[in-house]
Amino acid sequence: MNEKYLLAILGSPHTNGMTATMLNYAIRKAEEMGYNVTKINLYEKNLSYCTGCRACINTQICVQKDDIQEIVMCLQKCQTILLAAPVYWANVPAPVKNLFDRLLGTAMEETSAFPKPRLKGKKYILLTSCNTPYPFSWIFGQSRGAIRSMDEFFKTAGMKRIGKIVCSGSASKKEPPKRTIKKIESLFPY
């Protein structure tokens, strides 16, 4: 049987926060369903800022030597990526944005017209949480902003979204609501 590789990335500084809890539920279920899971805590990684040199457009990997090489290897090996990141200013936290910047040439090739995807065939799942309660989180573009930013990277890379789960109003919650946990667990039906 082919092994199913899942790369789970935590893009929150809080290892016991709402976003990490959502990710842990997802990982537990994925492992139960036979996925081989690699977990990366982005805040523990040594990643310099993208310098905008664009060399990666040709090399397909960043020329700066730090933890990006390990992340690219995991990205290329997995079939599915699970990214869990909280909403910061209606967007993603800075380390998540920097990861996308550092992966420019890994994700896409430049042509004279539109970018050509380099990670076609892979799937992705997004988990996020924010303090603004639903439906205001969506209406005022809070969780929508973070999801849009993450979609921009993965879609340009040619990947297909198979799930998106938002936990709104997280300030008043200790745990994700039961229906959110159910949704997370239904992400891995096989």
Ligand X SMILES: Cc1cc2nc3c(=O)[nH]c(=O)nc-3n(C[C@H](O)[C@H](O)[C@H](O)COP(=O)(O)O)c2cc1C
Interface contacts to ligand X, rule CB under 6 A:
12, 14, 17-20, 86-90, 129-132, 137, 142, 170
The β-bridge relationship of strands 35-41 and 4-10 is: parallel
Cβ of residue 97: shortest distance to ligand X, in angstroms?
13
Residue 9 β-bridge partners: 40, 83
Which is nearer to ligand X, 17 or 158 (by Cβ)? 17
Residue with the shortest CB distance to ligand X:
17
How far apart are the C-alpha atoms of 166 and 123, rounded to whole Å? 18
The one-letter amino acid at 177: P
Is the Cβ of residue 53 or residue 139 nearer to ligand X in the bound state?
139
21: tokens are 């809890």
* CB closer to ligand X, 87 vs 147: 87
Nearer to ligand X, 156 or 168 (CB): 168
Shortest Cβ distance from residue 15 to ligand X (Å)? 9
User: Amino acid letter at 154?
Assistant: F
Write out the two tokens for 9: 């990335």
CB nearer to ligand X: give 5 or 88. Answer: 88
Q: How far is the CB of 93 from ligand X (least distance, A)?
A: 7
Q: Name the minimum Å distance from CB 95 to ligand X.
A: 12
The DSSP annotation for 83-100 comes to EE---BTTB--HHHHHHH
Reference 68, options 45, 35, 91; nearest CA is 45
| Cβ proximity of 25 and 99 under 8 Å | no
Taking the complex as a whole, how short is the minimal distance between the CB of residue 144 and ligand X, in angstroms? 10
